[in-house]
């Protein structure tokens, strides 16, 4: 799986992708806008992959809430995370300042916010705005689900 991911990353760069992340978000950024903040908020008790899993769960929940992703696909992704033993929530999620995390990600990308979401399994879409109230509702949902 690691070799395949590396192959896909190289293909992305070779076909006009952005190896220095100066432009739009890459598919590899899926779940990452929140992950680095969650790692820090947990005192690095969350490993990177666990934080990214929570970020993916958050972005999947947001895409569902915004009507971009169907319920069945969303549930399938969340169930996959669970079956792999990955978390979809953590106490650090309660302390996540969404606006601050998005702003840091925007700076990381070079000035323009670009969050990679999905509208179906295997198909990413980039968005340049996030409704903070809807994202907060998704945080609440994930905390309730545990």
Check: CB of residue 82 under 8 Å from CB of residue 88. Answer: yes
* Average pLDDT over every residue of 37-45: 96
Q: Which two tokens stand for residue 102?
A: 């998005």
Task: Return the pLDDT at 10.
Answer: 81
Residue 93 host element (H or E): helix 91-94
Task: Return the pLDDT at 15.
Answer: 79
Domains of the chain (ranges; CATH) run 22-145 (1.20.1090.10)
110 band by pLDDT with thresholds 50, 70 and 90: confident
pTM above 0.75, yes or no: yes
* Mean pLDDT score across all residues of the chain: 89
Task: Return the pLDDT at 19.
Answer: 61
DSSP 112: S
């Amino acid at each position: 799986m690691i070799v395949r991911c590396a192959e896909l990353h190289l293909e992305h760069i070779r076909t006009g992708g952005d190896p220095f992340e100066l432009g739009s978000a890459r598919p590899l950024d899926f779940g990452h806008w929140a992950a680095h903040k969650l790692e820090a908020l947990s005192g690095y008790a969350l490993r990177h992959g666990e934080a990214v899993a929570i970020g993916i769960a958050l972005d999947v929940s947001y895409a569902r809430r915004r009507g971009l992703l169907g319920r069945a696909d969303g549930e399938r992704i969340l169930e996959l995370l669970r079956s792999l033993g990955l978390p979809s929530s953590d106490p650090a999620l309660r302390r996540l300042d969404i606006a601050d995390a998005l702003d840091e990600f925007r700076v990381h990308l070079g000035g323009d916010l670009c969050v990679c979401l999905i509208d179906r399994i295997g198909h990413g879409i980039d968005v340049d705005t996030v409704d903070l109230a809807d994202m907060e509702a998704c945080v609440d949902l994930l905390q309730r689900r545990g």
